[in-house]
Amino acid sequence: MDITEIALARVTDEFIAYIRRPQELGKEWALDEASEFLVLAATLLDLKAARLLPAGEVENDDDIALLEARDLLFARLLQYKAFKEIAAIMGGWLDREADRFPRLVGLEPQFASLLPELLWRHSPEKFAALARKALAPREAAPTEVGLSHLHAPTVSVLEQAQIMRAMLAAGTALSFRVLIADAETTMVVVARFLALLEMFRDAAVTFEQASPLGELQVRWTGVSRDWRSNNLSAEYAGVLSEMSVPEEAIQ
């Protein structure tokens, strides 16, 4: 592609249409993309000028890096444009095909009667269970990057707070070592430690440490008998909500 053959006005039109679409769909105006376009337009002018004038030069490495970044954006724009053209071609094919009707007829009776008798082993209840499954609203599959492939299982701070509260309910002080004795992973230890900090802030527990780096003794104060894990600060719970199980599941 010769850069000098690109009509900037056309690219501009297309880009404006491109960034307007989210807007038309009621989404936020893509300000960052709009500003990217200004950079792109400047770059295009830059490139055109450089190509048209033999003396035109790229000045320094920073400029080159910038140009590369703009190239990327430009390449994406061109790619989108290519798909748009292809879509138009495919649309034409679909229209052309709509004029042809396939032979779509039922099997003639003498052949239909040859089909093997259906094996049917569904009771009405089993069939209803099938219907329930088929009719249940399906969760929209997540658009975000999934976490399920991460091998570390997710650990809920809320859940760990509940567990420790139960352990401390008797009123005797327990060392942190004891509190994490059944922790299977480091993540659980971390979650319990974070939970303790939260509970401490709410004055639900007290800490005693006889000497620096000594055993940490944790005691349920009893002051906040009705302390619940949902006392955990909202922003904290919010941040971790992705990793948490619903509270009802714990109680």
Partner 1 sequence: MIEQQNSRDPGDGADMPGTDVHDLPGGAGAALEAILMVTDEPVSESQLAAAVGLGVEEVGGLLLGLQRHYDGYTGRGDGTGVGVSGSVAGKPVVDSPEFAAGQTRVTPRGFELRRVACGWRIYSRSDFAHIVSRFVLDGQSARLTQAALETLAVIAYRQPVSRARVSAIRGVNVDSVVRTLAQRGLIEETGTDAESGALLYRTTHYFLERLGIASADELPQLAPHLPGLENLQDFDDSSY
The footprint of partner 1 on residues 149-188 (CB under 8 A) is: 149
Segment contacting partner 1 by CB under 8 A, of 13-21, 43-51, 152-160, 243-251: 13-21
Nearer to partner 1 by C-beta: 22 or 238? 22
**Minimum Å distance from CB 140 to partner 1?**
7
Residue 1 is a binding residue for partner 1 (CB under 8 A): yes
The first and second tokens of residue 81, run together, are 């444009």
Q: Shortest distance, CB of residue 2 to partner 1, whole angstroms?
A: 8
Q: Encoding tokens for residue 230?
A: 């949902």
Residue 212: what are its φ and ψ, rounded to 5°? -55, 135
Nearer to partner 1, 18 or 200 (CB): 18
Residues 6+ apart with CB under 8 A from 39: 70, 73
Of the pair 54, 106, the CB lying nearest partner 1 is at 106
Nearer to partner 1, 101 or 210 (CB): 101
In whole angstroms, how close is the CB of 225 to partner 1 at the nearest point? 35
**CB neighbour class for 158 (10 Å; exposed up to 12, middle 13-18, buried from 19):** buried
Residue 50 touches partner 1, criterion: CB under 8 A: no
Give least dist CB 243 to partner 1, A: 15
Q: Which is nearer to partner 1, 138 or 225 (CB)?
A: 138
- Structure-token match 């997710």, residue found: 154
Site string for partner 1, 56-75 (x = CB under 8 A): ---------------xx--x
| Contacting partner 1 within 72-111 (CB under 8 A) | 72, 75-76, 78-91, 93-108, 110-111
Specify the residue, 102 or 171, whose C-beta has the smaller distance to partner 1: 102
**How many residues comprise the chain?**
251
d(CA 144, CA 141): 9
CA-nearest of 46, 17, 55, 51 to 34 is: 17
The site map against partner 1 for 183-212 (x = CB under 8 A) is ------------------------------
Long-range contacts of 225-234 (CB under 8 A, 24+ apart): 227/165, 227/199, 227/202, 229/158, 229/159, 229/161, 229/162, 229/165, 229/195, 230/158, 231/198, 231/202, 231/204, 232/157, 232/158, 232/161, 232/195, 232/198, 233/198, 233/201
Residue 22 makes contact with partner 1 by CB under 8 A: yes
**Interface map 107-126 toward partner 1 (x if CB under 8 A):** xx-xxx-xxxxxxx-xxxx-
